[in-house]
Structure 1
Amino acid sequence: MAKDPVETNPENYRVVFENDRVRVLEYTDGPGHTTTEHHHPDTVMLTTSAFRRRLSSNGKTLEVELPAGVARWVPAQDHSGENIGETDTHAFFVELKEAAPGSSRERGDHLGPTGS
């Protein structure tokens, strides 16, 4: 499993809140910046800026473009990312510490956010 993004990319991720049920991370970067591979558990992502990114994992890539002010579900996954747009990325990740009933905390086959 890839590592905690706060450890692998401390210049981009910082913990802004944590308790026994959730951890909230703030993420920022600029155009052209890339992250090293890291792990996210099941997460809700909240965008505060519009951005374009390329996510990569296990030989798969996905380009994501999101407007500011949206919330997206991000299933548990390992990935690295690259800001391929012309704007800074600014988002918050609300990481769930409890697994969904009947599921495991292992990395799934998902890459990127989903609409549900």
Structure 2
Amino acid sequence: MSQAVSQSDAVVVSPDRFRVLLDNEHVRVLEYTLRPGERDQWHTHPAKVSYVVDGGELRIHLADGTSFLSSEPKGTAEWREALPRHFAENVGKTPVRIVLVEVKVIVGTLSGRGKRSR
């Protein structure tokens, strides 16, 4: 892993917040946990699917100095585009736990997969 990648990789910079559940050539699955008042370190993510196991309120701080509130309702799943360098702070009263499925580049063809034969 290059130094530039490792300095922005969530697992490398915040190993106490991000735990790798699966890592293969197609996806990396992370469990993310942030207790009230905690924050993680500056990092980035590729495009991903998120599933909120335990919901709450996060404030996302961007490198340009702006921030926004992100309400994370329990049981929701959504597609999230890549997010530029940021860190999150739990501004709510409950721990937040989210499973992230980061999508890697899929090389090759998926031709014929998922088709039903008659």
The answer to whether TM tops 0.5 is yes
Alpha-carbon shift at residue 79 of structure 1 (Å): 1.1
Matches within 5 A, 1:18-97: 18-57=23-62, 58-77=64-83, 78-97=85-104
Alpha-carbon shift at residue 21 of structure 1 (Å): 0.6
Partner secondary structure for residue 7 of structure 1: helix
Partner secondary structure for residue 87 of structure 1: coil
Q: TM-score, normalised by structure 1?
A: 0.80
CA distance in structure 2 between the partners assigned to 1:25 and 1:66 by the alignment: 16
Contiguous gaps of at least 5 residues in structure 1: 100-116
1:22-78 residue CA offsets vs partner (Å, 9 max, x unmatched):
000001121000111101000111100111000011212110112111112221112
Contiguous gaps of at least 5 residues in structure 2: 107-118
The structure 1 residue matched to 2:8, chosen from 3, 8, 15, is: 3
CA distance in structure 2 between the partners assigned to 1:68 and 1:36 by the alignment: 23
Q: Percent identity?
A: 34
- Please say which structure displays the higher CA radius of gyration: 2
Q: TM-score, normalised by structure 2?
A: 0.79
Give the count of matched residue pairs: 99
The structure 2 residue matched to 1:98, chosen from 105, 110, 118, is: 105
1:68-103 residue CA offsets vs partner (Å, 9 max, x unmatched):
11112221112100000000010100000128xxxx
More helix by share: 2
